Amino acid sequence: MLPTHESLPSHLRIISKRTRLEIPISQIHFIEVFDWKCIVHCDAGVQHETNVPLKDIQTRLPPEQFIRCNRSFLVNLDHVSSVEKDALITDDGAAVPISIRSTRQALPSDRSHFRPISLCVPGFPTSKKRQPYGCLF
């Protein structure tokens, strides 16, 4: 049975390098699987490694805040600054790939909380042909 939104904690509890950690969910930018380990990317470039499977971590996080945009990535929508054709760009500039299969399923239909590309990339000229949020559709 999946936990309800009310029962989801405000912190993600993991064990990293034999240390118990409680990471505030608001600080998590994205989580990736690399070399059979999950790497939790947080504010200020801090990374935590854990052996907990991504599927298990996903059940501990709010589903309206975190999306699985690729079989190896979970992204916090609160830290997505723009959407490109094949990637989500986070606040710290990391490009998280979007799989072709989950492109339409992964992205919310309401993208009002994404900032326009011109605000995300200083000095980057936006063409009139380009849609304001880098929409895929």
Query: What is the full per-residue pLDDT of the chain (137 aa) written as tens digits?
Result: 455 555 667 999 999 999 999 999 999 999 999 999 999 999 999 999 999 999 999 999 999 899 999 899 999 999 999 988 889 999 999 999 998 766 555 555 555 555 444 334 444 444 444 444 444 43
Buried-exposed string 86-103: b where 16+ CB fall within 10 A, e elsewhere? ebbbbeeebebebeeeee
Every domain of the chain and the residues it spans: 5-120
Considering Cα of 36, then 41, then 134, then 137, what sign does the dihedral take?
A: positive
Give the pLDDT confidence score for residue 111 in this predicted structure. 53
User: Which residue reads 């326009």 in tokens?
Assistant: 116
Tell me which fold the domain 5-120 belongs to: OB fold (Dihydrolipoamide Acetyltransferase, E2P) (2.40.50)
The CA distance from 98 to 118, in Å, is 21
CB contact at 8 A, 86 and 54: no
